[in-house]
């Protein structure tokens, strides 16, 4: 299973891409572990995770259709 992860703000700039793809993760906890090992920069920048446009605060089961996004601190207005 391949999950597409949208990047925004500083993360988009630091990783140099609009999105990244991760294989073989079933839930958001496993996704974070794999992401941080593949992209060490993710341990340096604070961000929150949204699944299907909702911020998550605990483990969420993921499917190929899940829209995952990594969101650095907001600064609108």
Partner 1 sequence: MSHTKVKNIFIQGAISPSFIMERIQKHSTKTDIGAHNIFIGQIRADEKDGHQVTAIQYTAYEEMALEKMSNIREDIFVKYPLTCLHVYHSLGLVPTGEICLFVFTSASHRKEAIDACEELVERIKVELPIWGEEIFDNGSQTWKINK
For 4, the token pair is 């597409």
**Exactly one of 10, 32, 60, 66 binds partner 1 (CB under 8 A); which one?**
10
Q: Where does residue 40 rank: exposed (0-12), middle (13-18), buried (19+ CB within 10 A)? A: exposed
In the complex with partner 1, the residue whose CB is nearer, 24 or 73, is 73
**Exactly one of 1, 5, 9, 35 binds partner 1 (CB under 8 A); which one?**
9
Q: Rounded to a whole number, what is the largest CA-CA distance in the chain?
A: 38
Binding site for partner 1 (CB under 8 A): 6, 8-10, 12, 50, 53, 69, 71-77
């Amino acid at each position: 299973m391949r999950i597409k992860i949208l990047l925004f703000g500083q993360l988009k700039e630091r990783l140099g891409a609009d999105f990244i793809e991760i294989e073989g993760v079933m839930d958001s906890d496993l996704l974070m572990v794999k992401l941080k090992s593949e992209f060490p920069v993710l341990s340096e920048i604070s961000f929150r995770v949204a699944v299907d446009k909702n911020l998550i605060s605990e483990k969420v089961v993921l499917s190929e259709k899940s829209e995952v996004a990594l969101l650095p601190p907001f600064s609108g207005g």
